[in-house]
Structure 1
Amino acid sequence: MTLVKFANGQKNHGVNPFFSDVFDSILNDSFLSDKLASRVPAVNISETENQFHIELAVPGLKKEDFKISLDKNVLSVSADKKTENVEEGKKFSKREYSYNSFTRSFTLPEVADAAKIEAEYVDGILKLNVAKKEEAKIQTREIAVK
């Protein structure tokens, strides 16, 4: 039997503790993690009897910032936004520019009706509704017993 010793929450990388603390602070910096996490918006995809619903969390944009395209059965959603924070009348040693862009692509199933896709942007959520073809909708009927 082999015994394995765990650190129980303590960081022990076998290296000088100073180096592990420096690398942990660089890699876990909230600025870096926020920038990396915000590159691709979170998506919720659901399905009802008549439609597929795709919701993207993209706050801070305008509906004019979005480009939605369909190429064969691939639905692509992209956005580009450039922000400048500039105050006139003062001498600045620093100006902040922000460029945000993303692209998300979704492969639509065969049952999706490409002619009936609607998009709406409300309260930071981009909602896409993709209708299903008539033959793909679940049809219910009562069957009589003979």
Structure 2
Amino acid sequence: MNLIKRNESQMLGFPRMLFDDIFGRELFNWENTNFSSTRTTLPSVNIKENVDSYEVEVAAPGMDKNDFNVTLDGNLLTISSVKQQNEITEESNFTRREFSYQSFQRSFELPKDVVDDEHITARYENGLLLLTVPKKEEAKQKPPRMIEIS
């Protein structure tokens, strides 16, 4: 009898990290609603749900609020930027240059009949673009109530 030791970091001959990277992303987004025109990394996004709203946080340090476009088309919320890196002049004597500002677009489908699209707000502070997407009153979870027995 042969004992086969299973390597958790390998799956069908693929490194697990590569497998997670391929299948953990929005690979099957056939409409291509999330892209970076320069094939660079998209900004990271956190989405939190609380009782009254959804909160979207986009990590975009070094940008200005005027660099962003936020649009709502039906229930598709799109965040984009067309900021380009400043040109390097001869006076620029970099020994290392890692800052990179590239165009990007991220789109998120909002739940139908749940969000109050007339009251979405956005602000930019401390390198984060923060959007608040309020829920409609009828979509908010109601607190438990006591039902009297007659």
The TM-score normalised by the length of structure 2 is 0.63
For residues 48 and 139 of structure 1, what CA distance do their matches in structure 2 show?
Answer: 13
Letter in 2 for 1:53: E
- Consecutive unaligned residues in structure 1, runs of 5 or more: 5-34, 91-97
Matched, 1:120 2:148: no
Q: What is the distance in 2 between the residues matched to 1:139 and 1:3?
A: 55
Q: Any idea what the Cα deviations from partners look like across 1:3-41, whole Å, max 9, x if unmatched?
A: 98xxxxxxxxxxxxxxxxxxxxxxxxxxxxxx96x5201
Of 73, 98, 109, the match for 2:75: 73
Q: Hey, what does 1:135 align to over in structure 2?
A: 138
* Aligned residues between the structures: 112
Cα deviation for residue 2 of structure 1 reads: 7.0
Question: CA–CA distance in 1 between the matches of 2:76 and 2:62?
Answer: 26
Q: Which has the higher strand share?
A: 1
Q: So what's the TM-score if we normalise by structure 1?
A: 0.65
Pair 40,75 (structure 1): closer, same or farther in 2 beyond 3 Å: same
The whole-number CA distance in structure 2 between the counterparts of 1:125 and 1:48 is 19
- Alpha-carbon distance change, 99 to 51 in structure 1, aligned in 2, over 3 angstroms: closer
**Aligned equivalents of 1:87, 1:122: Cα separation in 2:** 33
Q: Which amino acid is 1:51 matched to?
A: S
**Structure 2: 5+ residue stretches without partners:** 5-37, 93-99
CA RMSD in angstroms comes to 3.1
- Counterpart of 1:102 in structure 2 is 104
Match of 2:49 in 1: 47
Correspondence for 2:149: 145
Aligned partner letter, 1:143: I
For 1:48 and 1:78, how far apart are their aligned partners in 2? 25
Which amino acid is 1:114 matched to?
Answer: D
Report the equivalent of 1:12. none
Residue in structure 2 matched with residue 18 of structure 1 by the alignment: none
1:99 offset after TM fit, Å? 5.6
Q: Which amino acid aligns with 1:127?
A: L
1:53-89 Cα deviation digits (max 9, x unpaired): 111111111000000011111000001112123255x
Distance 1:124 1:68 in 2: 16
